[in-house]
Amino acid sequence: MNIAKNCVSRLSSYKNALTKLKNLGFTRVFSDNLADLISVTSSQVRKDFSLFGISGNRKGGYNIEELFNQINHILGKDIVHNIIIVGAGYIGKALMKYKTFEKEGIKIRAVFDSDPAKINRESSIPILPVKELKEFIQAQRIKIGIITVPENSAQLVLDQMIDAGIQGVLNFAPINLKEYPGIIINNVNIELELENVIYYTQTMENNKK
Amino acid sequence: MNIAKNCVSRLSSYKNALTKLKNLGFTRVFSDNLADLISVTSSQVRKDFSLFGISGNRKGGYNIEELFNQINHILGKDIVHNIIIVGAGYIGKALMKYKTFEKEGIKIRAVFDSDPAKINRESSIPILPVKELKEFIQAQRIKIGIITVPENSAQLVLDQMIDAGIQGVLNFAPINLKEYPGIIINNVNIELELENVIYYTQTMENNKK
DNA sequence: GATTTATTGTGAAAAAAATCACATAATAAA
DNA sequence: TTTATTATGTGATTTTTTTCACAATAAATC
Ligand SMILES: NC(=O)c1ccc[n+]([C@@H]2O[C@H](COP(=O)([O-])OP(=O)(O)OC[C@H]3O[C@@H](n4cnc5c(N)ncnc54)[C@H](O)[C@@H]3O)[C@@H](O)[C@H]2O)c1
Ligand SMILES: NC(=O)c1ccc[n+]([C@@H]2O[C@H](COP(=O)([O-])OP(=O)(O)OC[C@H]3O[C@@H](n4cnc5c(N)ncnc54)[C@H](O)[C@@H]3O)[C@@H](O)[C@H]2O)c1
pLDDT digits (tens, 9 = 90+) for B96-147: 999 999 999 999 999 999 999 999 999 999 999 999 999 999 999 999 999 9
User: Minimum mean pLDDT among B75-79, B188-192, B205-209: which range?
Assistant: B205-209
Q: Where are the alpha helices (DSSP H) in chain B?
A: 5-23, 31-38, 42-51, 64-75, 90-97, 99-103, 133-139, 151-164, 190-208
Dist CA A48 CA A42 (whole Å): 10
Phi and psi, residue A104, nearest 5°: -95, 15
Task: Find the mean pLDDT for residues A34-39.
Answer: 98
Average pLDDT, chain A: 96
pLDDT single digits (tens) A158-207: 999 999 999 999 999 999 999 999 999 999 999 999 999 999 999 987 77
Beta strands in chain A (DSSP E): 28-29, 62-63, 81-86, 106-113, 127-129, 144-147, 168-171, 184-187
pLDDT given for residue B209 in this prediction? 54
Q: What is the pTM of this model?
A: 0.97
How many angstroms is it from B130 CA to the middle of ligand 1? 28
Cβ(A151) – ligand 1 distance below 6 Å: yes
What was the pLDDT predicted at B148? 99
> Torsion angle, CA of B172/B178/B184/B189, rounded to 10 degrees?
20
Pocket of ligand 2 (CB under 6 A): A 94-95, 98; B 86-92, 112-115, 118, 130, 148-151, 153, 156-157, 172-174, 190-191
DSSP class of A5:
H
Q: Is the CB of A58 under 7 A from strand D?
A: yes
**Intra-chain end-to-end CA distance of chain A, in Å:** 47
What is the C-alpha separation between A196 and B75, in angstroms, rounded?
8
Torsions phi, psi for A187 (to 5 deg): -110, 140
In chain A, residues with a C-beta closer than 8 Å to the C-beta of B186 are 193, 196-197, 200
Nucleotides of D under 7 A from a protein CB: 5-11, 16-21, 24-27
Q: Using 50, 70 and 90 to split pLDDT, how confident is the model at A1?
A: low
Identify the nearest ligand to the CA of B174 by its number: 2
Query: Is residue B34 very low, low, confident or very high in pLDDT (cuts 50, 70, 90)?
Result: very high
Centroid of ligand 2 to alpha carbon of B89 (angstroms): 5
Which residues on chain B are in Cβ contact (under 8 Å) with A199?
8, 11, 74-76
The distance of A194 to chain B (nearest Cα, Å) reads: 6
pLDDT at B206: 79
Assigned CATH class of B81-192: alpha beta
Cα separation of the two ends of chain B: 47
Contact B152, B174 (CB under 8 A): no
> B5-74 sits in which CATH class?
mainly alpha
Q: How far apart are CA A150 and CA A89, in angstroms?
A: 9
Instruction: List bases, strand C, within 7 Å of protein CB.
Output: 5-11, 16-21, 24-27
Nucleotide C18: closest residue by CA–C1': B44
B59 CA vs C29 C1’ separation (Å): 14
Ranges of each domain in chain B: 5-74, 81-192
Q: How high is the pLDDT of residue B1?
A: 56
Distance B41 CA to C19 C1' (A): 8
A105 in contact with nucleic chain C (CB within 7 A):
no
Per-residue model confidence as pLDDT tens digits over A4-30:
899 999 999 999 999 999 999 999 999
- Quote the minimal CA–CA distance from A202 to chain B in Å: 7
Tens-digit pLDDT profile for residues A50-80: 999 999 999 999 999 999 999 999 999 999 9
- Residue B208's CB: how many other CB atoms inside 10 A? 6
3-state secondary structure of B87: coil
pLDDT at A209 over 90: no
Q: Is nucleic acid strand D under 7 Å from A38's C-beta?
A: no
Q: Indicate the average pLDDT of chain B.
A: 96
Mean pLDDT of A89-118: 98
A145 Cβ closer than 6 Å to some ligand 1 atom: no
In chain A, the largest separation of any two C-alpha atoms, in whole Å, equals 62
Please report the pLDDT score of residue B207 as a whole number. Answer: 75
What's chain B's Rg over C-alpha atoms?
A: 20
Give residue A122's identity as a one-letter amino acid code: E
What is the spatial distance between Cα B119 and Cα B60, in angstroms, rounded to a whole number? 55
Chain B residue with minimum CA distance to A202: B76
